[in-house]
């Protein structure tokens, strides 16, 4: 049988956890002749290549391919996967995530049942290697569209750690942008969202299908327990969203700054009134503050002021 799915991981200096992600792909219930595993090393300086070679030796029945991408940036790495993939479908998994043992089997089932779908996606469930604070809720790192299978609504999309694209469709919509998204240790957002946005803007009906059975488990490292990190991440996300998705280009910079800044101030006032609804102030800071910082991130982006956040 020919390869149907190219399961792909793009990695930068994550050797200490990459082996777990690769092993989770090698331990799938789907017969190995139906899929290949592609690791794109995005200019790592650690032992990434050695880890891939070790996994190859431990799983000789699997087709595991290593490719080095010198241009630093997740967009470059994801696009390299498109060039190298031999499967008709590309299943992206982050290097700090673990695929459920049925992940590829459930993807294969969805493909057989819905061959005309452009992209499949499913749940992203957090897992931890350290004890999380009592106030830190799983929902902060959970990505889900519910418990029922369905087609996505207009402008909905999947997160990059659990999206399965038809290769031809992904090529048709231009692959992934390289100007945004993580670049080495500098963390930003949006490269995985852009193909969905391009599809929604080009077509009246986009065929994106969600199945809660398609599950992956995403590591939440200890640095994400920082409230400052969470708020700064929302600020950077707001910048990216405004610059690439919601920018009102027919308006002046001052108009866009004022619109976003006042929107953030309004949400700040709402947050103050909602403080008493929260048992813990940390939950209030994250759940209300993230909306405020998102708006203010867009405001500063309208003035051309961009920030960055470092991966821990």
Over residues 80-102, the mean pLDDT reads 97
Number of Cβ within 10 Å of residue 294's Cβ equals 23
pLDDT band, very low/low/confident/very high, at 37 (cuts 50, 70, 90): very high
- Quote the CA–CA distance of 71 and 181 in Å, as a whole number: 13
pLDDT band, very low/low/confident/very high, at 246 (cuts 50, 70, 90): low
Number of Cβ within 10 Å of residue 230's Cβ equals 20
174 and 45 share one domain: yes
CA angle at 213 for the pair 63 and 139, rounded to the nearest 5° = 110
216 and 260 share one domain: no
Residue ending a domain, choose from 176, 207, 224? 224
The reported pLDDT for the residue numbered 253 is 81
What is the four-CA torsion angle of 221, 96, 57, 100, rounded to 10 degrees? 110
146 and 267 share one domain: no
Over residues 216-238, the mean pLDDT reads 93
Residue ending a domain, choose from 196, 224, 252? 224
117-162 pLDDT per residue, tens: 999 999 999 999 999 999 999 999 999 999 999 999 998 999 999 9
The reported pLDDT for the residue numbered 201 is 86
The reported pLDDT for the residue numbered 16 is 85
202 and 247 share one domain: no
108 and 190 share one domain: yes
Which residues constitute the domain of residue 280?
226-310
3-state secondary structure labels for all residues of 14-76? CHHHHHHHHHHHHCCCCCHHHEEEEEEECCCCCCHHHHHHHHHHHCCCCCEEEEECCCCCHHH
238 and 299 share one domain: yes
- Quote the CA–CA distance of 32 and 27 in Å, as a whole number: 9
Residue ending a domain, choose from 171, 197, 224? 224
9 and 154 share one domain: yes
Over residues 219-245, the mean pLDDT reads 88
The reported pLDDT for the residue numbered 307 is 67
Instruction: Give this prediction's pTM.
Output: 0.93
- Quote the CA–CA distance of 202 and 104 in Å, as a whole number: 29
The mean predicted confidence, pLDDT, of the chain is 92
247-292 pLDDT per residue, tens: 556 678 888 889 899 999 999 999 999 999 999 999 999 999 999 9
Domain tally, the chain? 2
CATH code, domain carrying 55: 3.90.550.10
- Contact, 175 vs 195, CB < 8 A? yes
The reported pLDDT for the residue numbered 187 is 73
159 and 286 share one domain: no
215 and 267 share one domain: no
- Quote the CA–CA distance of 98 and 219 in Å, as a whole number: 8
Cα distance between the two ends of the chain = 42
Over residues 76-87, the mean pLDDT reads 97
164 and 285 share one domain: no
Residue 33 main-chain phi, psi, to 5 deg: -70, -10
Determine if residue 62 is left, alpha or beta; phi over 0 gives left, psi from -120 to 50 gives alpha, anything else beta.
beta
Residue 254 main-chain phi, psi, to 5 deg: -65, -40
Residues in Cβ contact with 30 at an 8 Å cutoff, skipping those fewer than 6 apart: 5, 104, 105, 108
């Amino acid at each position: 049988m020919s390869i149907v799915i190219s399961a792909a991981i793009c990695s930068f200096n994550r050797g200490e956890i990459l082996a777990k992600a690769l092993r989770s792909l090698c331990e799938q219930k789907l017969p190995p002749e139906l899929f290949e595993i592609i690791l794109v090393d995005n200019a790592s300086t650690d032992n990434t290549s050695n880890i891939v070679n070790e996994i190859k030796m431990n799983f000789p029945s699997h087709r595991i391919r290593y490719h080095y991408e010198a241009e630093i940036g997740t967009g470059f790495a994801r696009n390299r996967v498109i060039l190298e993939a031999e499967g008709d479908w590309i299943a992206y998994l982050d290097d700090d995530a673990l695929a459920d043992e049925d992940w590829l089997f459930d993807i294969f089932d969805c493909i057989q049942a819905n061959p005309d779908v452009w992209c499949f996606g499913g749940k992203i469930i957090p897992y931890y290697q350290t004890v999380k604070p009592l106030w830190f809720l799983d929902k902060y790192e959970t990505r889900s569209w519910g418990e029922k299978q369905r087609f996505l609504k207009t402008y909905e999309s999947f997160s990059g750690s659990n999206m399965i694209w038809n290769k031809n469709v992904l090529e048709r919509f231009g692959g992934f942008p390289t100007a945004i998204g993580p670049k080495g240790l500098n963390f930003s957002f949006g490269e995985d969202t852009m193909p969905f946005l391009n599809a929604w803007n080009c077509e009246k009906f986009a065929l994106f299908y969600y199945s809660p059975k398609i599950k992956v488990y995403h590591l939440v490292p200890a640095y994400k327990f920082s409230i400052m990190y969470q708020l700064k991440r929302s600020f950077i996300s707001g910048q990216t969203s405004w610059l690439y998705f919601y920018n009102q280009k027919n308006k002046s910079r001052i108009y866009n700054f004022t619109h976003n800044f006042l929107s953030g101030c309004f949400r700040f006032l709402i947050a103050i009134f909602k403080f008493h609804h929260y048992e813990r102030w940390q939950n209030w800071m994250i759940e209300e503050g993230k909306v405020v910082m998102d708006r203010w991130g867009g405001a500063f982006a309208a003035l051309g002021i961009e920030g960055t956040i470092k991966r821990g």
